[in-house]
Amino acid sequence: MTGQQTDVSDPPTVAITGAAGFIGSRVLQQVQEVHPDWDLIALDNQYRGQVESVGDVDIVHVDIRNRRRLERALDGADVVLHLAAISGVDDCDENCDLAYEVNVTGTNNVAWFCRQTGAALAFPFSMAVLGDPETFPITAELPRDPFNWYGRTKLLGERAIETFADGSFPAHLFLKSNLYGDHVVDGTVVSKPTVINFFVDRAVDGEPLTVYEPGTQSRNFVHVKDVATAYVRSAERLLQQLSNGETGTETYEIAGNEDPSVMAVAETVRALARDELGVSVDVKLVENPRSGETMVEDFAVDTSTAEEQLQWTVTQTINDSVRDLLRRHA
């Protein structure tokens, strides 16, 4: 929908929630590098925060569940990149009340701010909303049928933003796949124990790489640096959409070009650990403690919409990234 044009501040002001986290800190760093003239607002409650500042931008301690404080902190923002979340299946299962409060109520607070002010919004809602994908390659048009609480909270966030954005502000929704890799912020290595990172850490410690049964389950993997680039491209497009008076949501598949089985990933890490570190580790199948995850053996994702609309492309590969991670410990 297109309505009246919106005045955007010059330079624009871009806010990032969850700015101290795995993705948020990289997004903040990358925005500074690509658009040093932009004014930035960085917020995080430090639940899983790993840094206190990025470059010359201090991260302000704000909890998105506190709507009044959140609105004061976001005041003046033209675009909000909303990355604050309780992320991951295990964390959401173990802290289900907190996951609801942050992922649902907190996201509603951010979206309500955007509806009140007209600020644009970008929000990731995860492949977990799909449950078992019905067709391949995966697109955002597939039905939603989440298996777990993480996916359910993200689905509620997606639906809320669709409702709030209609006729009020432009929003980008990211159907995002499994992350891997790390990055360095002012000398601090920022990482997260996602599947590939977990395997690398185990290999470095000489411990067996434990793969949940059956091991044939496929996952799509995308590097945190590529994901951060998607947010920068998103912010650029959202600013254009604001100037054009556009409202409503656009959905983008943000994923990598590789969708190996979990067992294949473990075997790759084992082989590269032998080459790079001279260590030999075993790969062991173990009982899967999770009931709420897909076991499909294909996880190809169609990213053409992001490539065309955001001029976004994948630059990182699993092999090269695993080598880089291992060489840090050589």
Q: Which 3 state secondary structure label does DSSP give 283? A: strand
Task: Write the single-letter amino acid at 214.
Answer: P
The packing angle between helices 262-277 and 195-204, to 10°, is: 40
pTM for the whole structure = 0.95
Question: What local confidence, expressed as pLDDT, does residue 176 receive?
Answer: 97
Question: What local confidence, expressed as pLDDT, does residue 2 receive?
Answer: 65
Please report which helix (H) or strand (E) contains residue 30, including its range.
helix 22-34
Q: Shortest CA distance to 201 belongs to which of 218, 186, 214, 189?
A: 189
- The upper half-sphere exposure of residue 86, i.e. CA atoms within 13 Å in the direction of its Cβ, equals 25
- The DSSP letter of residue 258 is B
Question: What local confidence, expressed as pLDDT, does residue 300 receive?
Answer: 95
Q: How far is CA 205 from CA 98, 238, 241, 311, in A?
A: 33, 44, 49, 39
Please report which helix (H) or strand (E) contains residue 254, including its range.
strand 248-254
What are the pLDDT tens digits along the chain (330 aa)? 665 667 788 999 999 999 999 999 999 999 999 999 999 999 999 999 999 999 999 999 999 999 999 999 999 999 999 999 999 888 999 999 999 999 999 999 999 999 999 999 999 999 999 999 989 999 999 999 999 999 999 999 999 999 999 999 999 999 999 999 999 999 999 999 999 999 999 999 999 999 999 999 999 999 999 999 999 999 999 999 999 999 999 999 999 999 999 999 999 999 999 999 999 999 999 998 876 778 888 899 999 999 999 999 999 999 999 999 999 877
46, two tokens: 């430090």
Cα distance between residue 77 and residue 7, in whole Å: 12
Cβ atoms 37, 61 nearer than 8 A: no
Domains identified in the chain and CATH numbers: 13-181+222-254 (3.40.50.720), 183-219+257-299+316-327 (3.90.25.10)
Cα distance between residue 130 and residue 253, in whole Å: 12
